[in-house]
Amino acid sequence: MKKLKISHNNMAYIYLLPWIIGLLMLQVYPFVKSFYYSLTDYNPLADPKFIGIANYVRLFTKDKEFGKSLAATIEYVLVTVPFKIIMSLVIAMLLNKGRKGIGALRTIYYLPSLFGGSIAVAVLWKVMFMDQGMINAFLNKIGIGTISFFGNPSTALPTLSSLEVWQFGSSMVMFLAALKQVPSSLYEAAEIDGASKVKSFFSITLPQISPIIFFCIIMQTVNALQNFTSAFVITQGGPLKSTYMLGLKLYNDGFLYMKMGYASATSWVIFGLVMIFTLVLFGTSRFWVFYGDED
Amino acid sequence: MTRKKKKQIHEIIMYIILILVGFLMIFPLIWMFFASFKSNEEIYGSISLLPQSFSWEAFVNGWQGIGGNTYTRFFANSALLVLPTTLLTVVSSTLVAYGFARFEFRGKKPAFALLLSTLMLPNAILVIPRYSIFRSLGVLDSYMPFYLLAAFACYPFFTYMLIQFFRGIPRELDESAYIDGCGTFRTLVHILLPILKPAMFSAGLFQFLWTYNDYFNSIIYINSVKKFTVSMALRLTMDSETVVIWKNVMAMSCLAVLPVVVLFFFCQKYFVDGIATTGLKG
Amino acid sequence: MSFKRTMAAVLSVAMLAGMTIAASAQEQVTLRFSWWGGDERHEKTLAVIDAFEAANPNIKIEPEYSSFDGYKEKKTTEFASQTAPDIFQIETGSGPEYYKNGVLYNISETDFDFSNFDPYFLEMNGQFGSGSQYALPTGMAGSALIVNKTLADEIGIDLTQPYDWEYFFELGKKVREYDPECYLLSANTQYGTAFFIRAWMRQVNGLPIMSDDYTLNVTEEQFAECFDYIRRLYEEEVCAPASYKAPYGDQDQEDPNWIAGKYVADVGYTSSTNVLKAANPDVDYIAGQMPLREDRKSDGWFNDCPQFIGIYVNTEHPAEAAKFLDFFYNTEEAAAILGTCRSVPPTAMAQEVCEREGVMDALSREAVDVSLQYNGESDGGLTTCAEVTSILEDAYENVSYGAMSPEDAAAEVVSLLNDFIDMNK
């Protein structure tokens, strides 16, 4: 019998096999299925009923909560992502000077980002920011008075955002690595030309690390759009729906009000948002992302 | 003022800023630790960081857990969930990444695009259908859903991360191994893995972290209290129908983050390398 | 043992014997039982399970307990995938919904012994108009006003006599004059909605806000009147500010001002008396009377149950599940262990046992007694289903924050409720 010989490149399929199975069964199939659900009236206690695009029509024309929810989500993204990026960039710049004790500082800045999405820090935030909490005790001491962080619709979302921004460490580490790779010859040349520090930051540093900035913005936008744990544990969407982000709305619609079809439609809207953000970023990337050596 | 002196002052200001911000960063964690020793009255309305007295009572009480299920069990459960998941993730992601990085197979481009797009797939979209799949496989209320997702490389982050690492390894190494008569698998195991080890370790650390911190998926797949992980137990501990004794919750929160912190201090380099190379989320 | 019970026992033994003669003598059965609660309820329920297992070595009960947050969501997923536990605790608001969707087993078809229960109480709680028992009430409960008697006496406030809704304004003013740090009422959105919207409407119309045939019984003007009352409660500082209360959700016992005794009364449920008292044990408490309208069609206030326990329709072992519930509800042993961890128990037998063993919480008992003197009827059904509840709560929140005028809120509620009707009818 002739031995079955697999050509070298076709060996790839063997290595890819687990992924192919996983992709089809646990990613693509659920993905398609959830799209089907989004076109149905699906109470999990009964069978789904096909209703066409009614869920989407309802989301965009009748559901006032959805508008609020969408606004809160976008606000959350627009607050946390730029803050995180700017924070990590500034700190990375300061740490990049080869100062003494950088290792320890880097560790400290990085530490909070280890707890992303963990219940422990969500609870911690809740306790620190309550009316009688430590933060308010401090504000009272310095004469500002009590701020009802999670009771006031205008402060609740920023306070939740602060938890997200606190965890800027991982993008900072990425920026640090990117900064190290900027050739120092570029700065030297700029200095000879008499360029100011500010100018060389904008004309050398930023363009050089722009691919990493680009990547960070995309990943963090995708994550922020899906935020769930902090709103779920700390505010449950309140007060006055000010922190009722899409991730939470979807969860409540689906699991609490048992409208799985409607929730699936919401999840597709989140997916659509992710796509739009990504495409816009990709579309604009050729104007501001500088790839030194494309391969 | 001389230029040098000006520079020195500049330096000092920078340090002060860095240290102040650093202090702000770590302050919540320090506060959480000391809050484990404070009564509710001490937590309410006080700014003093240090507790009036140190007693490990909250740790002892908190550890008791609920209904005979102590935190010993919850930590053991977390280990049972996290360790195999991590191991399986690393193995499957390495194999798949190898396939992507070293072979020119038909359909590679669309396959890679698919991989990248699954990176951006919101978890929420998949939860319900996945749940029914695991039900028909009869693996609910166990850690099997996590193991399966790991074994079938459904965490595209790590595949993507390892592909990036593979790309950094010169292809000449493979070529010479083929010439020596190694098959692709032996090339992977004997030639590439030793070089890739740090990267795999990084991937493993991140998977450890994320699985350990996860709450959303655990609460969906696991029912029995005796299978609860630390995150789930924490949520149970802070259950509010009785008056919350914050120090118990804070004490258990400290213990819950402890493995992560310890792991981080021992493996700092790998965390930083892992992130720096691939630009992971966070 | 009554004749009926003896007969039932004899019959079931005979049946079991007949059925199992061919099979192994005693088949090992495992049942899953899930509930939500706090530490006390967990410990006591687990103790009952132990006692039951000791008496029935062939049945093993796998406990699945959790906090209230996320409990219902979890059940939804389990129903969707037909993996719900054999026995589970049910939120009162969800009972009718579950019954309608057919996830509950008809307990009347099992050997469960109902003789300890008051038949009318059973009919009102867990039959959902079907004439058969689909869920068992875990206790007796109702809206309650938990009064800090120590503070009330200091200020000279008496809530033990009948009074009308306007009376709160008079008292509220008195409290603010007495001490600007104190408020008459601690009310959160969830309990406030039950108290100031649902009870109010039952007094106005003698009907629930929405009947089970999807009829909306309340007009926009009636909502506006009610919301205007709520607006005044907050504007005239009868209730603590909504933004202050919001971070504590429905956990009034976590509010440090409650712990410090700065409220005269808490707007809550009989089942929350335990924890409210435990949060500030240094003062005396009583259960206050409830406000009544002069022109009421019904007292509005009523007594029902804090939650149900039901059997899952797809259980493989309904007989064993019923056997466990029988032990849970009908044995003195279980009653003595459980005490009032699910409010005052529903049967006279269990109540006696609790009194005798000294595990009856006096304040809970008092609050239940107050609720028993009113003639209102439970509005459990569509009015209390999750979605309608959230519509009403949103309105309450908007009005209490002053974010919406009573008229706008009323218009919004009516339009949302009509939309809900269109969607579901």
Neighbours of C19 (CB within 10 A): 11
Q: What is the CA radius of gyration of chain C?
A: 23
- Residue finishing a domain among B58, B82, B99: B58
Query: Do B173 and B38 have their domain in common?
Result: no
Please, which pLDDT band fits residue A89 given cuts at 50, 70 and 90? very high
Residue C8: helix, strand or coil by DSSP?
helix
pLDDT digits (tens, 9 = 90+) for B51-93: 888 888 888 888 887 767 889 999 999 999 999 999 999 999 9
Tell me, yes or no, if B48 comes closer than 8 A to chain C by beta carbon. no
Tokens representing residue C7 in the block: 């007969």
pLDDT digits (tens, 9 = 90+) for C249-281: 888 888 889 988 999 999 998 888 888 888 888
Residue B65 lies in a domain: no
% residues pLDDT > 70 (chain C): 94
pLDDT digits (tens, 9 = 90+) for B57-68: 888 888 887 767
% residues pLDDT > 90 (chain C): 67
Query: What is the pTM (predicted TM-score) of this model?
Result: 0.85
**Is pLDDT at B189 greater than 70 in this prediction?**
yes
Please, which pLDDT band fits residue B18 given cuts at 50, 70 and 90? confident
Tokens representing residue A218 in the block: 């995309």
Query: Do B89 and B45 have their domain in common?
Result: no
Does C403 contact A153 at a Cβ distance shorter than 8 Å?
A: yes
Residue B177 lies in a domain: yes
Is the preceding peptide bond at A239 cis, omega within 30 degrees of 0? yes
Lowest mean pLDDT across A181-185, A258-262, B241-245, C195-199: B241-245
Query: Do B184 and B137 have their domain in common?
Result: yes
Q: What is the pLDDT of residue B136?
A: 83
Q: How far A23 CA sits from the closest chain C CA (Å)?
A: 22
Per the document, the length of chain C is 425
- Residue finishing a domain among B58, B85, B101: B58
Domains and CATH numbers, chain C: 28-134+306-365 (3.40.190.10), 143-303+374-424 (3.40.190.10)
- Who among C242, C247, C398 is closest to A150 (CB)? C247
Lowest mean pLDDT across A6-10, A77-81, B227-231: A6-10
Residue B64 lies in a domain: no
Tell me, yes or no, if A84 comes closer than 8 A to chain C by beta carbon. no
CA proximity to C67, closest of B59, B219, A115, B250: B219
Lowest mean pLDDT across B3-17, B35-49, C20-34, C74-88: C20-34
Please, which pLDDT band fits residue C6 given cuts at 50, 70 and 90? low
Query: Do B198 and B82 have their domain in common?
Result: yes
- Residue finishing a domain among B31, B58, B85: B58
pLDDT digits (tens, 9 = 90+) for A192-223: 888 888 888 888 888 888 888 888 888 888 88
% residues pLDDT > 70 (chain A): 96
More confident residue, B157 or C215: C215
Query: Do B151 and B53 have their domain in common?
Result: no
Half-sphere exposure (Cβ direction) of B201: Cα atoms closer than 13 Å: 16
Name C345's Cβ contacts closer than 8 Å, sequence gap at least 6. Answer: C138, C139, C140, C335, C338, C351, C354
Residue C59: helix, strand or coil by DSSP?
strand
Please, which pLDDT band fits residue C23 given cuts at 50, 70 and 90? very low
Q: What is the pLDDT of residue C221?
A: 96
Does C40 contact B243 at a Cβ distance shorter than 8 Å?
A: no
Tell me, yes or no, if B179 comes closer than 8 A to chain C by beta carbon. no
Query: Do B270 and B139 have their domain in common?
Result: yes
Query: Do B106 and B230 have their domain in common?
Result: yes
CA distances from B87 to A79, B80, B208, C332 (A): 37, 11, 9, 52
Tell me, yes or no, if C243 comes closer than 8 A to chain B by beta carbon. no
The mean pLDDT of A149-175, rounded to a whole number, is 90
Q: What is the pLDDT of residue B280?
A: 42
Question: Which backbone phi and psi does B218 adopt, to 5 degrees?
Answer: -60, -45
Lowest mean pLDDT across B1-15, B253-267, C333-347: B1-15
Tell me, yes or no, if A140 comes closer than 8 A to chain C by beta carbon. no
User: Chain-wide mean pLDDT for chain B?
Assistant: 85
Do residues A166 and B28 lie in contact, with contact meaning Cβ atoms separated by under 8 Å? yes
- Who among C46, C62, C68 is closest to B241 (CB)? C68
Q: What is the pLDDT of residue C18?
A: 47
Q: How far apart are CA B25 and CA A105, in angstroms?
A: 10
Residue B130 lies in a domain: yes
Q: How far apart are CA A207 and CA A190, in angstroms?
A: 14
Please, which pLDDT band fits residue B42 given cuts at 50, 70 and 90? confident
- Who among B14, B46, B151 is closest to A94 (CB)? B14
Tell me, yes or no, if C118 comes closer than 8 A to chain A by beta carbon. no
Residue B211 lies in a domain: yes
CA distances from B196 to B12, B101, B192, C66, C200 (A): 41, 13, 6, 43, 70
The mean pLDDT of B125-142, rounded to a whole number, is 84
The mean pLDDT of B109-117, rounded to a whole number, is 88
**Is pLDDT at C46 greater than 70 in this prediction?**
yes
Domains and CATH numbers, chain A: 64-288 (1.10.3720.10)
- Who among C40, C63, C83 is closest to B225 (CB)? C63
Residue B46 lies in a domain: yes
Query: Do B23 and B126 have their domain in common?
Result: no
Tokens representing residue A275 in the block: 């796509």
Q: How far A240 CA sits from the closest chain B CA (Å)?
A: 22
Tokens representing residue B208 in the block: 């450890």
Residue C102 backbone zone (phi > 0: left; psi -120 to 50: alpha; other: beta): left
Residue C244: helix, strand or coil by DSSP?
helix
Query: Do B40 and B145 have their domain in common?
Result: no
Neighbours of A213 (CB within 10 A): 21
The mean pLDDT of A55-63, rounded to a whole number, is 90
Residue B63 lies in a domain: no
What stretches of C162-235 adopt beta strand conformation (E)?
183-186
More confident residue, C155 or B66: C155
Count how many domains chain B has. 2
More confident residue, B280 or C122: C122
Touching chains, B (3+ CB pairs < 8 A): A, C
Residues in B closer than 8 angstroms to A216, CB to CB, are: 279
Strand C136-137, strand C307-311: pairing: antiparallel
Please, which pLDDT band fits residue C175 given cuts at 50, 70 and 90? very high
**Is pLDDT at C313 greater than 90 in this prediction?**
yes
**Is pLDDT at C417 greater than 80 in this prediction?**
yes
Q: Which domain holds residue B37?
A: 3-58
Query: Do B209 and B115 have their domain in common?
Result: yes
The mean pLDDT of B125-134, rounded to a whole number, is 83
Residue C29's H or E segment, with its range, is strand C29-36
Query: Do B147 and B32 have their domain in common?
Result: no
Tell me, yes or no, if B57 comes closer than 8 A to chain A by beta carbon. no
Query: Do B15 and B103 have their domain in common?
Result: no
Q: How far C193 CA sits from the closest chain A CA (Å)?
A: 15
Q: How far apart are CA B142 and CA C73, in angstroms?
A: 19
Interface pTM (ipTM) of the complex?
0.83
